[in-house]
Amino acid sequence: MMRIEFRHLRTIQAIHETGGLARAAEQLNMTQSALSHQIKGIEDQVGVALFARRTKPLKLSAAGIKLLRAAESILPQVAALEAEFEGLISGKSGRMHIAIECHACFEWLLPVLEAFRKAWPEVDVDIRPGLAFDALPALRREDIDLVVSSDPEEAAQADFTPLFDYEPVLLASSQNPLAEKAFISPDDLRDQTLITYPVERTRLDAFTEFLTPAKVEPAAIRQVELTAVILMLVASNRGVAVLPDWVVRQVQYNADYVARPLTQHGITRRLYAATRHEDTQRPFVAHLIRLAKQEAVRMQRVG
């Protein structure tokens, strides 16, 4: 059982254009006989005559005209699709869905994406919230294409490209007694309210790098979504927070805060872009990572 196929649409269009089987056949690189068989094929299948047969230069019948109209509407759609695929192959277009484990990174990432969109207008860019946890498996299964993370995992078959180093620092109101100290020790937080983003402890530098190793628990924990709100709460001395130095630096003009290193010599963390191995070298992926690094440098200078 033969159905209408693209071949038939191309054939009917070619016959109409050239006004004859033989010429159409030439245009399609086939024999005239093939086209004759082909037409007979669909006519038998759909049960209507596509051409007026009494006339010699074959002429479209009413049904044939309907088919031609369909061809004229459908074939360009397919051509457009193939052009899109062409873009995917040549690397001009693609998808760049990003997950950020580092909660504060949102503000840094936005200008990066803005620049990226200008350079790669055909790439479909998005930040996927909600999968900050389990981002690496999602990366592997192609739910997303890039993860901003500070925990490179050997196991995950992904490339971790370093973006920039930062220092998690303690941010406290200048009214807070801790403002007196030159640096902060874990014990200093026993009687403090710690304000964090609403994510697991294992994703928070304050715990993974500082409190948990020292087995110290703060007096209270308060979870807040927005960086701006955290800063407000700290300013009014309702708690202290651990944030990347560059976040702090961007608000330091405000005298209500003080920033202090964690431990005597401070802690240094490194942020990575995790990508699937086969993607890392793709032009627009590499470009996004480059832009991200540049933005990081610019950001460090703000201080």
Residue 235 identity (one-letter amino acid):
A
Select the residue interacting with DNA from 9, 12, 14, 39 (CB under 7 A).
Answer: 39
Say whether residue 83 binds its own copies (CB under 8 A). no
**Under a CB-based contact definition with an 8 Å cutoff, are residues 285 and 158 in contact?**
no
Say whether residue 94 binds its own copies (CB under 8 A). yes
Select the residue interacting with its own copies from 37, 95, 190, 238 (CB under 8 A).
Answer: 95
Select the residue interacting with DNA from 6, 17, 37, 254 (CB under 7 A).
Answer: 37
Say whether residue 36 binds DNA (CB under 7 A). yes
Q: Which stretch binds its own copies (CB under 8 A): 64-72, 184-192, 209-217, 263-271?
A: 64-72
In the complex, least distance from residue 176 CB atom to DNA, rounded to whole angstroms: 46
Site string for its own copies, 29-58 (x = CB under 8 A): -----------------xxx---x-xx---
Q: In the window 40-99, what residues touch DNA (CB under 7 A)? A: 40-41, 51, 53-58
Say whether residue 88 binds its own copies (CB under 8 A). yes
Say whether residue 2 binds its own copies (CB under 8 A). no
In the complex, least distance from residue 53 CB atom to DNA, rounded to whole angstroms: 5
Q: Which stretch binds DNA (CB under 7 A): 36-44, 128-136, 146-154, 245-253?
A: 36-44
Alpha carbons within 13 angstroms on the beta-carbon side of residue 65 total 4
Say whether residue 5 binds its own copies (CB under 8 A). yes
Q: In the window 118-177, what residues touch DNA (CB under 7 A)? A: 141
Q: What does 293 interact with, of its own copies, DNA, none (CB < 5 to 8 A by kind)? A: none
Q: What does 298 interact with, of DNA, its own copies, none (CB < 5 to 8 A by kind)? A: none
| Residue 162 vs 283, nearer CB to its own copies | 283
